[in-house]
Amino acid sequence: MAELKVIADTSFLMIPGLFGVDVISELNRLVERRYVLVVPSPVVGELKKLSKLGTSAERSAARLALALVKRGKVIEARGSADEAVLAAAGGGDCVAATTDAALRKGLRGLGVPVVFLRQKSHLALDGRIW
């Protein structure tokens, strides 16, 4: 079975810093197969900007998110972070990870399963992983 791509957006990567949820353990629980965390380059750009210009909580969460990015694979992409996530998810055999309701709706419209934060305490999956 091929390695599953988990395409993460900014809001997802900031979950550990904002809500204290271990997203890696939660992904292991939900996905139950080999996966690689994929982060589009515009998402990294947003995190770098937030780590310098955000509120105190955002700066701290963004720095933690940037450390998490190092555990994954950064892919080059153009456009906004949301556009980059949508484009990367169009390749198939992937799951997207976001807390952004509008992005989640767009991804589900494309038939992409979405991992999201539920009750600020754990991750849940909307859709099925094949």
Could you report the per-residue pLDDT of 71-96, keeping only the tens digit for each? 999 999 999 999 999 999 987 789 99
Strand 94-97 relative to strand 114-118, pairing = parallel
Two structure tokens written together for 10:
């900014």
Q: Where are the domains of the chain?
A: 4-126
CATH number of the domain located at residue range(s) 4-126 in this protein: 3.40.50.1010
Separation of alpha carbons 100 and 89, rounded Å: 15
Summarize pLDDT for 35-68 with one digit per residue, the tens: 999 999 999 999 999 999 999 999 999 999 999 9
Instruction: Annotate 7-30 with b (16+ C-beta within 10 A) or e (fewer).
Output: bbbbbbbbbbbbeebebeebbeeb
User: What's the pLDDT tens digit per position in 10-37?
Assistant: 999 999 999 999 999 999 999 988 999 9
